[in-house]
Structure formats: C-alpha cells, structure tokens
Structure 1
Amino acid sequence: MSENNIKVFIIDDEYLERSLLKQCINWESLGMEIVGEASNANEGIKLIDELKPDIVFTDIKMPGIDGIEFSEFILKKHPSLIIIVLTGYNDFNYAQKSVKLGIFDFLLKPIDENEVLNTAKKVKSYIEVKKKEKKELEDLKKQLYENLPYLKERFLNELITSNLPESSINERLEFFKLHLKNENFQIAAIEIANSADLNEESRLIQNFKVSNYVKSYFKKLKNIIVFSDQMNRIIILSNDEKIDLYKICMRLKNKINKELDCTLNIGIGNIKENIGEVRTSYMEAIDALNYHIAVGNNNIIHYRDVQFKESKSESDTMHLLNELKFYLKSGLEDDAINTVKEVFSLIDVKSENALKLIHVSALNIISVCFSVSLELKENFDDIYLSEINTYNKIVNIETLPEMIEFLSSIVINTIKAVNKEQISNINNLIDDVKKFIEENLSDSNLSLSFVAKHFYLNPSYLSRTFKKETGINFIEYLTNKRMEKAISLIKEKNMKSFEIANAVGIQDPNYFSSCFKKYTGLNVSEYKKLIKNTV
C-alpha cells in the first residue's frame, strides 16, 4: 500500500453491493485503495477509528443506525472525512436533506460505474486541492514560526509607536506568549555613543554585542522584554513594579562600560498605568535619550529630571552673537564664554534636529571669532586655513559639553590675539581715547565704561592702561579736561554756572561747582571776578 494513496472505506449491509462498488472501477489507477469494509454502522465506526480512511461510501438504509445518523456521528469525530451516501431512488430526496451535515455527494442505486468513476475523480481532485492547501498552510505556518522573533519585534515596535486598540494588543500578546500584567509599564531606551565613528559592519556588530548582553542580563526577569526599535536603539520594556528601572540601568551601564568597553546613553520614560500608554513612556524615553546632547555621553537621563525649553527666535541668537563680538574685542573672556553657553541654551535639545541646530550655532560662533581675528594684523591665509579645519572638527562633535569646551578654547585664543594686538597699538589707542574725550566733553554719558565700549575695551583694562600711559587715572583726566573747558568758556562767554556745567557734560550744577572749586580753589563767581579784575 502506497502512503500517498487515497484510502477508501465502504459500509453497506449487502455484500453484493460492497463487491460491486469495489470492482466497478480501477481504484488503483486513480491513486486510491479500498482499505476496509463493514456491513453496518457500528462496525464501520470501530474500523474507521483504526484505519483512518479519507473517503467513506455508506448506504443510507442499514439495520440499527442508518447512513444519515452514522454520517452525523462520524463527522463530529472526523470532520475532514469525505462521506458519499449510497441511496435508492425513493430515498434520494431524504438523503438530499442531509447536505447540511457535510455529506460530500450522493450515488443512486443501482450503482453505475461511470457515476462511480466521475464521483471518484471529483473526490480525488477535491482531496488533492485540500492537500495542496494543507501543505501551503503548513509551509506558511513553518515560515511564520521561523519568522516569529522578527514578527514579535515588529509587534513590539507597533506597541511603542502606534495607537493600537487594547483588544488587538491583548490578542497579540497571547499569540507571542508575552505574559504582561495589566499595570506598571515603563520604557528605557539605550543608544551606543559615538558608534557613528565606526564603519557599518563594526557598528552593527557592536550593537548586536550590546543587545545580546542586555537580553542576557534581563533573561531571568520574565516581566522585562528587550528588543530593538526601528532606529536600532535597544529598548527595555519593564512590567515589574518591584524593579527600579533607573537603578538597574545604572548597574547595567557600569557593567557594559567595564566588560564591553562601550559607552552608552540611556533615556528612561515615566511609569504608566496601562499598556495603552506604553507609547507615551517610549516617546518620553527617546526625548530623555536625546537630551544627552546637552549633558554629554555615558549618562542615564530620566524624563522627569529634564527641563525642556522652547527654541527662541533667530533675533535672540543674533543679539547674543553681537554681544559675543563685543566681548571678544573687549577681551572679556568670562563674558564671552558665558555668551557662547547662552547661545546654546536657546536650543530645544529634545528637538529631532537638536544636533544640527547645535552645529549651526557653533558655526555661527566660529564665524564671529574669525571675523574678529580678520580685523587684526594677522595673516589672512593662516586664518582662512584655521577656520576650515575648525569647521571640519565641529561637524564631528556630538554633545553640547564637548562643543562648549571646544568653542571656549577658540574664544580664549581669539581674545589672546585681540589683547596682543591691543597692546601693540596702545599708544595710538590712548591718543584716540584722548581725542574722543576732547570731542565728546559735552556728552553727559561720557564715562570710563562709555569710552571702553566705544573702543571695544575692558573698562578695567582701559583704566589700568590709561593711568600707566598718562600717569593719571581716567576720571581725574576727564574731570580736568572738563574744568579746562569750563575755564575757557568763562573767559570767552558770559554764561551762567548751570549753562557751563551742561556745556562740559555735567548735569548736576552742585557737582560741577564742587569739581570747579576743587580744581581752581575758587567757586565760579569768585573765578569770574578774578578774571574780570585781572582784565
């Protein structure tokens, strides 16, 4: 007997009918084989359980249980069994009423060999189609279970990125045998720092290495699931209220740092009450993870600890860049570095384009530094080449602390160059300051800070330098010049005391009188009389 043969079983209480059915066609040529026969339904039921045929031919009228009752009973036990009922003409209408039971076909007695052949061919075709469908289904199931890890990961990605109905979530959790409880869900997202420096093969190998380590680390905790998201970040989904995810991630990070010599950044979302909110915890974890740009690499950042800001307008940035230029020219190192930090504080670090915005801001700061350098008596070609090299370095910096440290060194070097230039031109500078004072004596705003700002100088530096070069401090020099002009006006014009005060840039007449008496030893009225008497 061939294993591929279709097995046929016959039930009829008449021996001649059974013999006729067996011999009327060449069953073997159809790939079929008569595997057994029975004279009544009870006997047939026992043999069918033993022989497991594919097709049963059964008479409709038999002693005890008739063919319809038998069919109803046997199809419940063997729903894939094909039953063909043999019926006389008088019973045909009765037999047809049993179609709903699942009977495949009917043959009228007396048996006609052509009808039997056609029915057998029809059944064979049906069985072959079903076998093909079954084989295809088995192949698909095999393929399904071979791809189960991938499908499971794809579902978990949908869970953290899409708004899935809860019924669908529960059904798929059951299919993938993910036994999660109904509350306390939290996401952590892990990203390997500086992996962009590696080629694609090395980067993927490193990611697999870390991913396998993380999965192994949580292997014994059935309420923690580890998988990768669409950006190849390692995702930890915790469903265990007894676990402090922050602390366990800290231990994990330290182990990976030490054992795999690998730097990580980890973002952690808030705990959510139901599985439908896992998506929110994931987005919070990614926002926290992206914040490593602001705090540097090898950090664990919890969303609750992050204070996000909205990006400010372009005008705010331009204002700060103008301030930076002033501080650079003034030699104010601390103020210049603080301004650099302020420029970056305007950036929303949770933004998807945060790193690009940091690079753009850094390039703007570098441009300000080099524009100041170009105003000095430096070699243009050297400055140009230095600027190009600096731009190339900037695009490879991935965190804000690194960027601020790098730019601070540029700022310091720029200020050193500015100070060097200022020292070499100090004599001309003091002459220019004196000239500026002479030309603006009537301006009441004229002061040390006013003049220093005009010449892009540090007020303290100007004060020290002025006294060193002139032998007199700035305020004393300015007051003397104002008194000299006041004396000149008294001699040349008939002006009242308050008018003279305004003319020399002193708005308070009392203060002017005090300065004048200190300078001349006389008040204005006495000095006028003295001049008048002298004339």
Structure 2
Amino acid sequence: MYKVLIADDEEIIRKGIAGLLKGDGEMQIVAQAEDGETALELAEKFTPDLLFVDINMPFLNGIQFIEKLKGLLKDAVVIIITGYDDFQYVQSALRLGVYDYLLKPIMEDVFYKSLNRAKDELKSTREQTKYLEWAKVLLEKNKAKLTENFLNDWLGGHFCEEEIDERVHFLGMKLPEEFGIVVAGLDYKNNMEIGGDWNDDLLYYAAENITRELFEPFNPAALFRNPAGNLVLISACQPQDAWQDTVKTLRRLLEEHLPVRVTLAQSAGNGRREISVEYEHALSRFYELMEVPQLIKDVQNYIDENYRNEAFSLQDAADAFHVSPQHLSRIFRHSMGITFVDYVTRARIRKAIELLSNEEMKIYEIAELTGYSSQHYFSSAFKKVLGVSPAEYRKNEQNKISAAM
C-alpha cells in the first residue's frame, strides 16, 4: 500500500485525481490540501509515498513546496500538475527531482501511464530500502567477525592504504591517533586440561570482557583474536603512564580470575600507518617472551640467513631441517602467529627499512639486496606491509629528520 497526498487549489482537480485513484487497491489517499503551506504540514504528518502537486498553488507554490519537501521525504515520488501557461516551471521542477508531470486537463490514459511508472519507481525504492536495511542488520550481526577478519588481513600486510581506508570507513572504526597495542596469550596453568566448564571459547570470552571493561577509559578501538588465537587490543594510550599501569593490571586480573598463565607484550605509536609496524613490534616481543620450540628458533635463523635469495621457500627450510613442509607450516604459524611466507616478507621489509636510511642507495638496489628481482614487486610488497611505497617511506623519514632539526 502506498500513501498519497494531493495538493491543488482547484477542488475539481483534487476530486478528479481522487476518483482516478479510487479503483487502485495499492493507493491510499491520506491527505488533500488546497495550498502549499497546508500541503507541507500534511506531508510532514502523514509521510506520503506519492504526491500530486499543483505547480501554481497559493502561499507556497509547487517549486517552493518541492524544495522544502526534499528535506522531509527524500524517497517520495512527486508528480506535478501544470497548465500550459505554467509550463516554463516544469524544467525547474524536473531539476529538483520531480518524477513526472501532468498537463491540465488531466487525461485518464495519460494519468494511469504516469501512475504505473510511479508505482514501479516506488516498488524499486522499497526493494532497495529493504535490502539496504537487511544488509545493515547483517553487517551489525557479523560486524565483530568482519572486523576481526579485516584487522588480521590488514596487520598481515594484505591491504594497500586505499583498501584500508575503505574498510575502516565501512566498518565504522574509530582508530586513535596515538594508539597502544596489547597482545595477550592465555595458557592453562600447569599446561594441563582443567576441570569445570572452561573451554577455549569461554576462556577468551571472559578475557575479552575483562579487557574491554578495564580499558574502557582508553576507548578500545578493536579487540580481537589473531590467527594464532591470541588476544589483540588496539586503544588510545594517553596518558602513557596510566596506560602502562592498566596493561600491568590486565595481566594480574586475568591470572586472578581465570585459570591461566598470561604472556603479554605491548607497543605504542602515532598515526594509523604505524599500526601494522607497532603490531609487528608487539608480536616480536610477545614471541620473545614465549617458549618457542627450538625448531622454530632454528628456522628463524635460517630465514635471516637466506631471505635475500629470491627463490627461497618453505620447501627449502623444510628440507634443511628434515621435516615436511606441511608440518613446518603448521608449527611455524602456531608458534609465531603468522605464516612462514609472511614472516619471510617482513624480514625482507625490515632489512629494506634499514637500507632506505642510506640515501645513496637506489630503490632497485635495495630490492635486489632483500630478495626481489623486480623493483615493482618489491614496491608492491613494501606498500602492502607499511601502506606506503619505499620512496614515500624514505621521503617521510627525511621530512621527520628535517622537522626535528
């Protein structure tokens, strides 16, 4: 059912349109008006879907009425009624988004053609609105998971700056300029299965609630689990001393209220582009604190010795330590929180950052020294991790040095 408002200073026109609509079961006339001011009041009160509006009404003419209506009912369909003498106003009305116009005297066949087109438009708008609302509900319902997936992909170096901007906006995330990152891993005490009703999901659910409540003064922007299953928090971090004290309190509360041992590391930075860098720092500290298997420590050293070789691969490392690639991939990700390939990429980018400080070195030379035969491929990999190209990064660092001086 569509609600209809008829606005015309001629009663015979109003009655005529009402009569033509009478036989249409989809149309319900909710109001009639003989001047523009009254029509506007009734439009605000009844929110009609379809309006028939005389272009030349007293007090508030059709053009003025339509201008004011746009602020009230953006999806309403307006059909103007005009005489030949007023036809010069039609173009103005069409520029304001009027759907159609009818000339007086209104011919029945012309009226119904216009009405049917208007109904098609209204149906289309309703369908779009319905699917938009459905999408909003679905987004809200799955927002936490979508945010977690995005953050893990972003921090894993899988998005460029433009893609990050789009997703941050889409998810409505508010990331602080001065931020702190906390990575927390929970292990059952004594490394044993515990009694009661605890399981991993319940354990992390409780940990998330404790973390969110404790860091509320710092406006948590994101709280999620990374691929290794560890808890990651991104929040504001000012004042710094209070934030550091809260991080310490988090460890104490988690170990007091949950049957776990906590491994915890943190890092802080400024500017959204630095979030992935500081996350990497926090993650490195986190794994330094954990008991990493000797195999993985040896593989890390092996990567540091061989990442300059463009052809270096997971298979090479697996062969060197006499294990299957599948086993090495699985245990590496579990121990380090990122994949073998991502770790190699970051090792190369870390070295590239170091070399970029040497202004005499060309970008292509740095690419070759970090395992990339193509400068284009190197720039693409660098930008995916840090959000800027090597040249932009070097320029930004030079600007920082200049500003400091």
TM-score normalised according to structure 1 size: 0.48
User: For the structure 1 residues 168 and 27, does the alpha-carbon distance in structure 2 shift closer, same or farther, using more than 3 Å as the test?
Assistant: farther
What amino acid does structure 1 have at the position aligned with 2:128?
Answer: E
Q: Is residue 287 from structure 1 mapped to residue 284 from structure 2 by the alignment?
A: yes
User: For the structure 1 residues 236 and 65, does the alpha-carbon distance in structure 2 shift closer, same or farther, using more than 3 Å as the test?
Assistant: closer
Aligned counterpart in structure 1 of residue 111 of structure 2, from 105, 116, 129: 116
User: For the structure 1 residues 71 and 116, does the alpha-carbon distance in structure 2 shift closer, same or farther, using more than 3 Å as the test?
Assistant: same
Give the C-alpha shift of residue 98 in structure 1. Answer: 3.0
Aligned counterpart in structure 1 of residue 16 of structure 2, from 20, 24, 43: 20
Aligned counterpart in structure 1 of residue 161 of structure 2, from 152, 156, 165: 165
Contact 1:68 1:95 in 2 (8 A): no
Give the C-alpha shift of residue 110 in structure 1. Answer: 1.6
Where does 1:154-233 land on structure 2 (aligned, <5 Å)? 154-158=149-153, 160-162=155-157, 165=161, 172=168, 176=172, 178=174, 180=176, 182-183=177-178, 185-193=179-187, 202-222=199-219, 226-233=223-230
- 1:450 maps to none
Give the C-alpha shift of residue 118 in structure 1. Answer: 2.0
Aligned counterpart in structure 1 of residue 234 of structure 2, from 234, 237, 248: 237
Contact 1:223 1:240 in 2 (8 A): no
User: For the structure 1 residues 312 and 175, does the alpha-carbon distance in structure 2 shift closer, same or farther, using more than 3 Å as the test?
Assistant: closer
Residue by residue over 1:357-414, the C-alpha shift from the partner in whole angstroms, topping out at 9 and shown as x without a partner, is 9x969xxxxxxxxxxxxxxxxxxxxxxxxxxxxxxxxx9xx99xxxxxxxxxxxxxxx
Q: Is residue 104 from structure 1 mapped to residue 102 from structure 2 by the alignment?
A: no
Q: Which runs of 5+ in 1 are unaligned?
A: 297-308, 315-351, 362-394, 400-535
SS in 2 for 1:263: strand
- 1:392 maps to none
Give the C-alpha shift of residue 189 in structure 1. Answer: 1.8
Contact 1:173 1:179 in 2 (8 A): no
Residue by residue over 1:46-95, the C-alpha shift from the partner in whole angstroms, topping out at 9 and shown as x without a partner, is 33333332222122334454433433343344333322122234544542
- 1:272 maps to 269
Contact 2:154 2:164 in 1 (8 A): no
- 1:261 maps to 259
Contact 2:155 2:279 in 1 (8 A): yes
Aligned counterpart in structure 2 of residue 72 of structure 1, from 61, 67, 78: 67
SS in 1 for 2:270: coil
Give the C-alpha shift of residue 159 in structure 1. Answer: 5.1
Give the C-alpha shift of residue 169 in structure 1. Answer: 5.2
User: For the structure 1 residues 218 and 224, does the alpha-carbon distance in structure 2 shift closer, same or farther, using more than 3 Å as the test?
Assistant: farther
Give the C-alpha shift of residue 288 in structure 1. Answer: 2.2
User: For the structure 1 residues 207 and 119, does the alpha-carbon distance in structure 2 shift closer, same or farther, using more than 3 Å as the test?
Assistant: same
Residue by residue over 1:159-216, the C-alpha shift from the partner in whole angstroms, topping out at 9 and shown as x without a partner, is 5334653995599379646362x23x343322234799769x9444444444444334
Structure of larger gyration radius: 1
Q: Distance in 2 between matches of 1:262 and 1:292?
A: 16
What amino acid does structure 2 have at the position aligned with 1:15?
Answer: E
Q: Distance in 2 between matches of 1:192 and 1:54?
A: 56
User: For the structure 1 residues 187 and 170, does the alpha-carbon distance in structure 2 shift closer, same or farther, using more than 3 Å as the test?
Assistant: farther
Where does 1:327-346 land on structure 2 (aligned, <5 Å)? none
User: For the structure 1 residues 235 and 135, does the alpha-carbon distance in structure 2 shift closer, same or farther, using more than 3 Å as the test?
Assistant: same
Give the C-alpha shift of residue 105 in structure 1. Answer: 0.7
SS in 1 for 2:24: helix
User: For the structure 1 residues 9 and 224, does the alpha-carbon distance in structure 2 shift closer, same or farther, using more than 3 Å as the test?
Assistant: closer
Aligned Cα RMSD in Å? Answer: 4.3
Contact 1:152 1:176 in 2 (8 A): no
Give the C-alpha shift of residue 22 in structure 1. Answer: 1.9
What amino acid does structure 1 have at the position aligned with 2:56?
Answer: K
SS in 2 for 1:146: helix
Q: Is residue 135 from structure 1 mapped to residue 130 from structure 2 by the alignment?
A: yes
User: For the structure 1 residues 26 and 203, does the alpha-carbon distance in structure 2 shift closer, same or farther, using more than 3 Å as the test?
Assistant: closer
Q: Is residue 11 from structure 1 mapped to residue 29 from structure 2 by the alignment?
A: no
Q: Distance in 2 between matches of 1:66 and 1:217?
A: 59
- How many residues end up aligned between the 2 structures? 306
User: For the structure 1 residues 291 and 63, does the alpha-carbon distance in structure 2 shift closer, same or farther, using more than 3 Å as the test?
Assistant: closer
Q: Distance in 2 between matches of 1:50 and 1:293?
A: 65
Give the C-alpha shift of residue 127 in structure 1. Answer: 1.0
User: For the structure 1 residues 89 and 151, does the alpha-carbon distance in structure 2 shift closer, same or farther, using more than 3 Å as the test?
Assistant: same
SS in 1 for 2:260: coil
Give the C-alpha shift of residue 115 in structure 1. Answer: 1.7
Contact 2:7 2:36 in 1 (8 A): yes
Give the C-alpha shift of residue 249 in structure 1. Answer: 4.4
Q: Distance in 1 between matches of 2:218 and 2:304?
A: 48
Q: Distance in 1 between matches of 2:238 and 2:10?
A: 73
Q: Which runs of 5+ in 2 are unaligned?
A: 294-299, 306-312, 323-330, 336-405
Q: Distance in 2 between matches of 1:169 and 1:90?
A: 53
SS in 2 for 1:134: helix
Give the C-alpha shift of residue 234 in structure 1. Answer: 0.9
Contact 2:219 2:235 in 1 (8 A): no
SS in 1 for 2:239: coil
Q: Distance in 2 between matches of 1:108 and 1:211?
A: 66
Q: Distance in 2 between matches of 1:152 and 1:294?
A: 30
Q: Identify the structure with bigger relative contact order (alpha carbons < 8 Å, sequence gap 6+).
A: 2
What amino acid does structure 1 have at the position aligned with 2:42?
Answer: L
- Bigger strand share: 2
